[in-house]
Structure 1
Amino acid sequence: MNLFGGTISNLENGLRYSATKQKTIAQNIANVDTPNYKAKDVSFAKMLKDAQTETMSAFRTDQRHYEFKQPEATSGVYSYTNLRYRQNGNGVDMDAEQAKLAENNIYYNALIDRTSGKLTSLKNVIKGGQ
């Protein structure tokens, strides 16, 4: 029995992706002047696939209990190996990283807003519509 129809789980996966992307973009920006540093990015498709396949087994006393899931923190992250923007071999385009940062911020805020709305709806149902 899936209590919430998978919505909370999907929102959680989206938030995990957004947090990983935020860390990756921050790492790229921090290394903008590092020689031979190659920019990194996150693949949502790979992260979602890894999250669906990786489960940690645990003893469940009832089949309605949730399974433990423990996805890797670096799942879905890859490097652009042949990319160079500078003479020193650095592969970070600061303008592109700032655009990705703004886009990810909008995505994250939308997910947080949707999660908040979903939890507010559940709270109203639990209270009996009061």
Structure 2
Amino acid sequence: MNLFSGSFQTIERSMDYSALKHEVTAQNIANADTPNYKGKKVSFGKVLDEAVSAAKLQMTDPRHINGQRQKNPAIKLSDRRVQYGHNGNNVDIDKEMSDLASNQIYYSILSERLSGKFNSLQNVIKGGK
């Protein structure tokens, strides 16, 4: 019997993804004025591949989407053709700050959800008191 039905692992992986995205966005912001710096972004495909392989999903119906995807690096360079700064830098500081704020909201929601899960578990252990 799976006591937690995978919800803790799902939230944990989602928080790992959010933390990685925060780190990469922070690096982009820190290097916004660095000459010839090319911004990076997190590839959701790689994170999804890891989650699918960790869950060991199996196809039970031929109409299901095949779980096999081509492997992409988790962090990749953004489009090099775009250049925002006169110094060869392609980091758009407004977009990065917006991404950082939305990622912070996402992480906060995940942490609240995890806290709620633990509170529910604590309530069950105490017998509803």
Which TM-score tier does this pair reach, normalised by the shorter chain?
0.7 to 0.9
For the 8 Å contact 1:13–1:48, the answer to whether it is kept is no
Opposite residue 121 of structure 2, the aligned amino acid is L
Matches of 1:45 and 1:4 in 2, distance apart?
26
Counterpart mapping for 1:10-25 below 5 A:
10-25=10-25
Deviation at 1:49, TM superposition (A): 1.0
Could you list the runs of 4 or more consecutive aligned residues of structure 1 that deviate by over 2 angstroms after TM superposition? Answer: 50-54
- Residue 41 of structure 1 aligns to a residue in which SS? strand
Deviation at 1:51, TM superposition (A): 4.2
Matches of 1:108 and 1:39 in 2, distance apart?
22
For the 8 Å contact 1:38–1:83, the answer to whether it is kept is no
Matches of 1:122 and 1:108 in 2, distance apart?
21
Q: How many residues align?
A: 111
2:68 corresponds in structure 1 to none
**Structure 1 gaps, min length 5:** 55-74
**Structure 2 gaps, min length 5:** 55-72
1:8 corresponds in structure 2 to 8
Deviations 1:37-96 (A, max 9, x none): 111111223212124437xxxxxxxxxxxxxxxxxxxx6211113331112110100000
Matches of 1:26 and 1:110 in 2, distance apart?
20
1:60 corresponds in structure 2 to none
Give percent identity, aligned residues only. 51
2:64 corresponds in structure 1 to none
TM-score of the two chains, using structure 1 as the length reference: 0.78
Matches of 2:124 and 2:99 in 1, distance apart?
37
Opposite residue 124 of structure 1, the aligned amino acid is N
Matches of 2:33 and 2:44 in 1, distance apart?
27
Over the residues paired in the alignment, what is the CA RMSD in angstroms? 1.7
Matches of 2:48 and 2:118 in 1, distance apart?
23
Opposite residue 48 of structure 1, the aligned amino acid is L
